[in-house]
Amino acid sequence: MDGASLSLRLHRPSFHHPTSDIRHPVAIYNQLVTSEQVKLRAVELGFDVCGIAPVGAHPELTFFREWLDRGYAGEMHYLQRSADRRADVRAVMPGARSVIALGTIYNVDRPYSTEVTDNATALIARYAWGDDYHDVIQRRMDALLDWMRERAGVEFEARAYVDTGPVQERVYAQYAGLGWIGRNTCLINPDLGSWIFLSEILCSLPLEPDLPALDQCGSCTLCLEACPTGALVEPHVLDSTRCLSYLTIELKGSIPEAWRESVAGHAYGCDVCQEVCPWNLRAAVDTQPASPWLPRAAFDAPPLARLWRMTDDELRGALKGSAMTRAGVKRLRRNIAVCAGATGDEAALVALAEVDEPSCAEPLVAEHVDWARGRSRG
Ligand code: B12
Ligand code: SF4
Ligand code: SF4
């Protein structure tokens, strides 16, 4: 299917408003744990935004299969394996009646990568700087669930996920009113911006749902224009195989040569399509002095050369308990080598030649180092 017909089928105006057909009559909503109370408690536990989505055949859920068929998932085979469950939360939990969607701001007061002007800095995606969000947010959701169970008056079934379950989190967040899915495919909250982790509790309690958020991208196309690799192949459609986030985090093997130059200084993930978004010009910031999202010292705008010169043990120590364990030391070195070659940063290229840690001898790393050094000679 070509891009034009795909967009046509999924054109936003065709989405029906769920209020009339999915909401339950008020009388059957749980009275001991109401939606309002859940939202208040969520905020007390550290969530920044909470809404309730109805379960249902939301039209956006159907796009997932087409996205897979187009090959846009690349080597993320787990997405293929769980496609049936991702089509509807009732395939994950047949008794699900409500989805409690939760948003957590992870933005902290540091410049955007688009504001960094020197080549020598390793650009690391904002979400990965601090503690692993899976752990932090799972604890908060467990606390919310404990509280709900104490009050509910009846036993109920629930499952809590933070990027850990076969759930299309952005779709449910949109239907819970947390924000709209922007053309960059990110969930954007009109007051907070898009630096928000999503998580959700599927639950068998009938809770009064919220209204879905409205699209406010207007005529803007800044994200599509700014993407360094053209990965946003059309509005709302991201081809992972071109996305720097995929290439530097999810891809286990060699980074295809065609994309290495575009990696530039992006040593881990990419934030460009969110940084250029007007809704993030004044995005909300987590200002707590002990915010879990503040960068660890090793990842606070480090020069590429300094990162490369860390020993394997030091790197492992810095990665421990952060979301960056996903790529590990080997893939992080692979990425830094590509950054050195792509940016031509002298200090980083010298470091590539001098450091002799065990991970540098791994074939995957060595191949990228050779490429970088070859480029600098050529
Ligand atoms: C696989 C994955 C990736 C892949 C693919 C991303 C993608 N856009 O598909 C890669 C590795 C590239 C990636 C990158 C990132 N990710 Co990611 N990722 C996921 C994951 C696990 C699944 C997403 C998925 O199902 N993709 C498949 C596509 C089809 O779904 P979708 O992106 O949600 O797209 C929906 C809409 O775009 C809509 N749609 C599609 N076409 C059209 C057309 C029209 C006309 C309309 C109206 C709608 C529409 O329907 C789709 C749903 O079916 C989710 C967690 C989860 N379980 O949901 C996190 C998640 C989406 N990622 C997240 C983050 C933080 C990131 C990064 C910012 C990390 C980084 N800095 O490097 C980047 C952002 C890149 C980007 N622009 O999306 C957050 C996003 C939070 C937010 N505010 O949106 C999530 C929700 C994790 C979390 N729990 O917080 N990610
Ligand atoms: S994360 Fe970067 S590479 Fe991926 S779509 Fe956004 S701008 Fe493009
Ligand atoms: S940059 Fe513009 S088009 Fe892209 S998500 Fe933001 S508002 Fe929407």
Q: How far is CA 318 from the centre of its chain?
A: 21
pLDDT of residue 4: 33
Q: Is the pLDDT reported for residue 376 higher than 60?
A: yes
Cα–Cα distance for residue pair 192/112, rounded to 1 Å = 16
Residue 239 in contact with ligand 1 by CB distance below 6 A = no
CB 162 near ligand 1, within 6 Å: yes
Which band of pLDDT confidence, cut at 50, 70 and 90, is reported for residue 372?
very high
Nearest CA to ligand 2 atom 4: 243
67 C-beta closer than 6 A to ligand 1: yes
pLDDT, tens digit, for every residue of 171-189?
Answer: 999 999 999 999 999 999 9
Tell me how far the alpha carbon of residue 185 lies from the centroid of ligand 1, in angstroms: 6
Average pLDDT over residues 52-60: 96
Ligand 1 centroid from CA 333, angstroms:
25
Per-residue pLDDT band at 13 (split at 50, 70, 90):
very low
What CA–CA distance (Å, rounded) separates 1 from 66? 9
Report which protein residue has its CA nearest ligand 1's atom 34.
185
Stretch 362-373: mean pLDDT, rounded?
98
Mean pLDDT, all residues of the chain: 92
Q: Quick check: CB of 137 below 6 Å from ligand 2? A: no
Phi-psi region of 111 (alpha: psi -120 to 50; beta: other; left: phi over 0): beta
Does 272 sit in the ligand 2 pocket, CB within 6 Å?
Answer: yes
pLDDT of residue 195: 98
pLDDT score of 28 more than 70: yes
Predicted local distance difference test score (pLDDT) of residue 148: 97
Q: Is residue 102 a contact partner of residue 45, using CB atoms and an 8 Å limit? A: no
In angstroms, rounded to a whole number, what is the distance separating the alpha carbons of residues 239 and 234?
9
Q: In this structure, are strands 123-124 and 266-268 parallel, antiparallel, or unpaired?
A: parallel
Taking the C-alpha atoms of residue 293 and residue 178, their distance in angstroms, rounded to an integer, is 21
The one-letter amino acid at 271: D
Q: Is 222 in the pocket of ligand 3 (CB under 6 A)?
A: yes
Mean predicted confidence (pLDDT) in 251-267: 98
Candidates 319, 327, 316, 181; CA nearest to 253 is 327
- Tell whether the model's pLDDT for residue 82 goes beyond 70: yes
**How confident is the model at residue 18, as a pLDDT?**
42
Q: Is the pLDDT of residue 10 over 70?
A: no
pLDDT at 14 over 70: no
CA 59 to ligand 2 centroid distance, Å: 25
State residue 5's pLDDT score. Answer: 31
Q: Which ligand does the CA of 217 lie closest to?
A: 3
**What pLDDT score was predicted for residue 16?**
36
Q: Which atom of ligand 1 is nearest to the CA of 248?
A: 72
181 in contact with ligand 2, CB cutoff 6 A:
no
Q: Which of 185, 223, 236 to mutate to test the pocket of ligand 3 (most atoms within 8 A of CB)?
A: 223
Count of alpha carbons within 13 Å of 86, Cβ hemisphere only?
23
Are 163 and 220 spatial neighbours (Cβ–Cβ below 8 Å)? Answer: no
| Index of the ligand 1 atom closest to the CA of residue 185 | 37
Look at residue 371 in the predicted model and tell me its pLDDT. 98
Residue 232 CA: which ligand is closest? 2
User: 284-337 pLDDT, tens per residue?
Assistant: 999 999 999 999 999 999 999 999 999 999 999 999 999 999 889 999 999 999
Q: What pLDDT is recorded for position 263?
A: 98
Quick one: average pLDDT of 77-92? 97
> Quick one: pLDDT at residue 190?
98
- pLDDT score of 25: 47
Q: Which of 238, 273, 275 to mutate to test the pocket of ligand 1 (most atoms within 8 A of CB)?
A: 238
Ligand 1 pocket, residue 181 CB under 6 Å: yes
Burial (CB count within 10 angstroms: exposed 0-12, middle 13-18, buried 19+), residue 321: middle
As annotated, the active-site residues are 163
Ligand 1 pocket, residue 68 CB under 6 Å: no
What confidence category does residue 378 fall into, taking pLDDT thresholds of 50, 70 and 90?
low
Selected residue with higher pLDDT from 285 and 13: 285
Convert 40-80 into a string of H (helix), E (strand) and C (coil). Answer: HHHHHCCCCEEEEEECCCCHHHHHHHHHHHCCCCCCCHHHH
Nearest Cα neighbor of 46 from 209, 211, 288, 295 is 288
Token reading at 257: 């040569």
Distant-in-sequence, close-in-space partners of 314: CB < 8 Å, separation ≥ 6: 298
Closest ligand 1 atom, CA of 170? 33
Q: What angle do CA 17, 20, 24 make, to 5 degrees?
A: 125
Which of residues 12 and 347 earns the better pLDDT score?
347
